[in-house]
């Protein structure tokens, strides 16, 4: 399944990295297109599935044993994968903080999906979840490759990623999505630009691709709130806080106010409603529309985002088709809210009004 999906999903959009590099006077931003091709080519030679990591915070209940298996590898600043195995499921912490953060934070996200949705690992079949830390030299990203998680240590523009719970949960959710919807939501084949690699790789395109990104943003935010026991009013709804160097901004995206550069970074141009939407836009920009719809619905429902709003979105997205539109998502979430709570409920009305507010429905 993962080989069919084949989408290399980066934590930080290449546009943002390029802008940061330009501002800092850096030479480049690690050639993400070439890296995607290399990762996909390497993946074809790997024997088994691979996956993710996450961050520490207030203690959660102990993981349910045997529900999942984790394995952490050290790439040693190289790009050969999987690297040296340094920690397995049940092993004691090691001296390397990145390894321990990857291990512990993987468990937080897996615990969330298990306890909230009864999901047994990424594929719901107990697959082993693997992560490679210290990938590349000054590699300024983290990514889901379709098979595993990979973490760079960052550079002068971007910090390391193993402590970023919401971003890691975002990436892991791409893995969940590839198993929820066969073929992937919004996944299309695109040519590889690196001459050394003749294969095609995959990318997210159109409104369906934006929905894929949005689903990951939403559940990345929910996992962070769940772990910190934050209500919808207590949460700041920012993704990727503290990853960027101070001169570049405060966060990667905001679900509460997409495109607000005072909250995120200096050239954030995420869309907030269909008034701004343009066909062919970057999926990280257009994902702001369904992101904001979820925020508005969750805020109006109140309480904790994982109790009602999150389950509505999870059940609705599971039923979407690979080429679903924003309108399809609006109809699906409204339908689920109506079935779960009734068409006269505040939950149903909150979902409807949220999609109206972002002008997906009238």
Query: What's the pLDDT band for 23 if we cut at 50, 70, 90?
Result: low
Q: What is the pLDDT of residue 182?
A: 85
Q: What's the CA angle centered on 20, arms 160 and 156, to 5 degrees?
A: 40
Q: Is the pLDDT of residue 47 over 60?
A: no
151, 172 contact by CB (below 8 A): no
Q: Is the dihedral of CA 156, 265, 141, 197 positive or negative?
A: negative
pLDDT of residue 162: 93
* Mean pLDDT, residues 233-256 taken together: 94
Model pLDDT, residue 318: 95
Nearest one of 86, 91, 97 to 132, comparing CA atoms: 86
Give how far Cα 239 sits from Cα of 44, 215, 275, Å.
Answer: 31, 13, 23
Q: State residue 272's pLDDT score.
A: 97
Active site residues: 171, 284
Which among 148, 166, 158, 50 is positioned nearest to 108, based on CA atoms? 166
Contact 219, 310 (CB under 8 A): yes
Gyration radius of the chain's alpha carbons: 19
Contact in structure between 328 and 362 (CB atoms under 8 Å): no
| Residues 6 or more apart whose Cβ sits within 8 Å of residue 83 | 73, 74, 75, 76, 132, 134, 135
Rounded to the nearest integer, the mean pLDDT of the chain is: 85
pLDDT at 191: 62
pTM comes to 0.86
Confidence of residue 113 (pLDDT cuts 50, 70, 90): very high
Reduced to 3 states (helix: H, G, I; strand: E, B; else coil), residue 348 is helix
pLDDT digits (tens, 9 = 90+) for 144-187: 888 899 999 988 888 888 999 998 899 999 999 999 998 889 98
φ/ψ region of 51 (left if φ > 0, alpha if ψ in -120 to 50, else beta) reads alpha
């Amino acid at each position: 399944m993962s080989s069919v999906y084949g989408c290399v999903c980066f934590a930080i959009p290449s546009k943002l990295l390029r802008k940061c590099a330009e501002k800092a006077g850096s030479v480049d931003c690690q050639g993400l297109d070439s890296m995607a091709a290399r990762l996909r080519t390497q993946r074809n030679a790997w024997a088994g599935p691979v996956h993710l990591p996450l961050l520490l915070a207030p203690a959660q209940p102990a993981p349910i044993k045997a529900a999942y298996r984790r394995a952490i590898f050290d790439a040693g600043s190289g790009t050969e994968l999987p690297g040296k195995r340094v920690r397995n499921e049940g092993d004691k912490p090691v001296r390397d903080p990145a390894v321990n953060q990857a291990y512990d934070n993987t468990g937080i996200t897996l615990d969330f999906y298990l306890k909230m949705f009864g999901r047994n690992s990424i594929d719901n079949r107990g697959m082993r979840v693997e992560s490679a830390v210290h990938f590349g030299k000054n590699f300024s990203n983290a990514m889901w490759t379709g098979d595993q998680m990979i973490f760079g240590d960052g550079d002068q523009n971007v910090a390391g990623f193993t402590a970023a719970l919401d971003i890691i949960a975002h990436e892991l959710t791409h893995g969940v999505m590839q198993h929820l919807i066969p073929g992937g939501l919004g996944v299309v084949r695109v040519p590889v630009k690196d001459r050394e690699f003749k294969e095609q790789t995959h990318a997210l395109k159109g409104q369906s691709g934006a929905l894929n990104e949005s689903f990951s943003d939403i559940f990345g935010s929910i996992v962070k709130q769940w772990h910190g026991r934050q209500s919808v009013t207590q949460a700041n709804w920012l993704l990727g806080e503290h990853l960027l160097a101070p001169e570049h901004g405060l966060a990667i995206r905001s679900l509460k106010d997409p495109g607000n550069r005072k909250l995120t970074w200096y050239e954030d141009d995420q869309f907030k409603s269909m008034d701004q939407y343009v066909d062919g836009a970057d999926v990280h920009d257009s994902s702001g529309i369904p992101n904001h719809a979820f925020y508005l619905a969750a805020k109006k429902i109140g309480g904790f985002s994982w109790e009602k709003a999150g389950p509505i979105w999870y059940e609705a997205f599971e039923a979407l088709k690979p080429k679903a539109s924003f309108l399809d998502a609006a109809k699906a979430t409204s339908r689920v809210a109506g079935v779960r709570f009734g068409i006269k409920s505040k939950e149903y009305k909150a979902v409807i009004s949220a999609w109206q507010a972002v002008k997906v429905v009238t």
